Structure 1
Amino acid sequence: MTCQLMDCIGTPLPNFSQNLGFVLIGLFSIGALASSTFASIILINVVKLDYFYSHQTSIGAIILVTAGCLFMFVSLLGYCGLKKMTIWMIKAYATLLFLIITLQLAGSICSFAFKEYFSTVVLAKMNAAAKNYFVHGVDNGDLRATVAWDEMQINYHCCGTSSYLDWSTLRPEMKGYPDSCKCKVNEKDCGDDGFYHEGCYTILRSFLTTMVNAAACFSLITAVIQFIWLNFFMNEAQGTEYIRIND
């Protein structure tokens, strides 16, 4: 039995498959939004600390944000395709969803690689910049390195790389700690001596690792479930008489 394409538009899938599709599209949207949010937080922090990073480190986060934004539009296409059972919409949704899954996997891999970069390159850059911190009376300071360190220590309530004691070895000419390490004794994260004690590398590694893991895991889990559901749905649709076109 055949029918004209326009006559078939609006014919519903079995309730279970159609309702499952609506629920999963909603869940995928939440997963994509969560992944994009965590990736955006990573980007914001990388921009704040651009002195210690290269632009390549943000590739994974950019891919995940892009994939999340694309999915918000693609999910609308998928919803309309399921609601009206328009064959071209469903095929377009399937194609674009496969592209998004690829982006999510690529972004997750790049994000995990970022953790390794942070553990080696960023730590080395922090130590190198600390050795060029400007000290009054010493001519070999670097203003950019000084500003970068001051902003980081103030914004993240930290001092030094691994701890505030690093300054005594990284910049012994200072004979103390930078003013940006100072804090009020009753302030959160402030030591009894009026200085932040925890190192900036330690804080940032913990914070960014958590964000990277969250963004990558949300993206990976969403991508895997999307792929499984995409195969199930296309097989279901092709095996029924609910979507029909002329022979």
Structure 2
Amino acid sequence: MRNCGPSLIKYVLFAFNVLFALSGLGILIAGAIVLADVSEFNHFVEGRVLAPPVVLIVTGLIIFLIASFGCFGAIKESPNLLLTYAVLLAIIFIVELAVGIAASVFKKDLEMMVKNSLQESIKRSSSEDTMAWDNIQRKLMCCGVDTPADWRTISANKTLPASCCQPQYIDTTVGHCLDSPALGKDKYYQVGCVGELKKRIDKNAVILIGVGIGIAFIQLLGIALACYLASSIRRDRSQ
């Protein structure tokens, strides 16, 4: 490495930090997409479900700052700055690892938490609950917590809302299904919303995990590279 000269050291670390900055942009975008998707149903999910994408967005912003710091350390050819850069990468890596572990543990209780939230909401059937249910049933094409029958057994007014009706069967004059039994399989959605909402959250979790693993590998490479370059600079200067 000593024969390569300081200029190559600059180029190597600069190229890495360009990649690192782009990875920060990727993790920020992924977090924003997942947050926008899940927040549509925040009436039924606790804030803990929104925490992982928020953490990723913040991490993405921090990664931009750290990448800039790494470029500065390479330009200055400062072993201390490079080692500080490596420590910052390690801290971010530990934070991401902790979030990943917490998300995995929380995932086990996710379905029960969502189900309880849906059941409490359908029992209240307030105007706010009704709007939230209309939103989730239309977008996820589902009805009730587990089945459409939940509206008959759990809700306050014991009536299926119009959002349970498949769009092609809605009579525009009344805004509801006509000529169908109360729980008619021919016109009402038959899938419960708890399963569909969990699928949506699980799909987003796969995105977050995939992006997180990719970023983790890049960070480990950055830590090793920064430490190696700092050691090389010190070795060159000591001769």
Q: TM-score range by the shorter chain?
A: 0.7 to 0.9
Q: Using the alignment, how far apart are the partners of 1:31 and 1:84 within structure 2?
A: 24
1:78-97 equivalences under 5 Å are: 78-97=70-89
Change (3 A) 1:235 1:32: same
Change (3 A) 1:186 1:88: farther
How far apart are residue 88 of structure 1 and its match?
4.5
| Residue pair 2:44, 2:117 contacting (<8 A) in 1 also | yes
Q: Using the alignment, how far apart are the partners of 1:40 and 1:122 within structure 2?
A: 22
How far apart are residue 241 of structure 1 and its match?
5.3
How far apart are residue 45 of structure 1 and its match?
4.0
- Aligned partner of 2:227: which letter? M
How far apart are residue 178 of structure 1 and its match?
0.7
- Aligned partner of 1:237: which letter? A
Q: Using the alignment, how far apart are the partners of 1:241 and 1:173 within structure 2?
A: 76
| Residue pair 1:63, 1:103 contacting (<8 A) in 2 also | no
Match of 2:7 in 1: 12
Q: Find out whether 1:98 has 2:90 as its counterpart.
A: yes
Match of 2:192 in 1: 199
SS in 2 for 1:160: coil
SS in 2 for 1:50: coil
Match of 1:3 in 2: none
Aligned residues with identical type, % of pairs: 23
SS in 1 for 2:215: helix
150-159 vs 165-174, greater mean Cα deviation: 165-174
- Aligned partner of 1:158: which letter? C
Work out the number of aligned pairs and report it: 222
How far apart are residue 243 of structure 1 and its match?
6.1
Q: Of 228, 236, 244, which residue of structure 1 is paired with 2:237?
A: 244
Q: Of 152, 162, 184, which residue of structure 1 is paired with 2:146?
A: 162
Q: Using the alignment, how far apart are the partners of 1:25 and 1:114 within structure 2?
A: 33
Q: Using the alignment, how far apart are the partners of 2:94 and 2:201 within structure 1?
A: 24
Q: Using the alignment, how far apart are the partners of 1:31 and 1:127 within structure 2?
A: 40
Q: Using the alignment, how far apart are the partners of 2:105 and 2:36 within structure 1?
A: 18
Residue segments in structure 2 that go unaligned for 5+ positions in a row? 171-183
Q: Using the alignment, how far apart are the partners of 2:191 and 2:236 within structure 1?
A: 62
Q: Find out whether 1:34 has 2:29 as its counterpart.
A: no
Match of 1:64 in 2: 56
Q: Using the alignment, how far apart are the partners of 2:24 and 2:212 within structure 1?
A: 7
SS in 2 for 1:206: helix
Two-structure CA RMSD over aligned residues (Å)? 3.4
229-238 vs 123-132, greater mean Cα deviation: 229-238
Change (3 A) 1:74 1:143: same
Q: Of 189, 204, 212, which residue of structure 2 is paired with 1:211?
A: 204
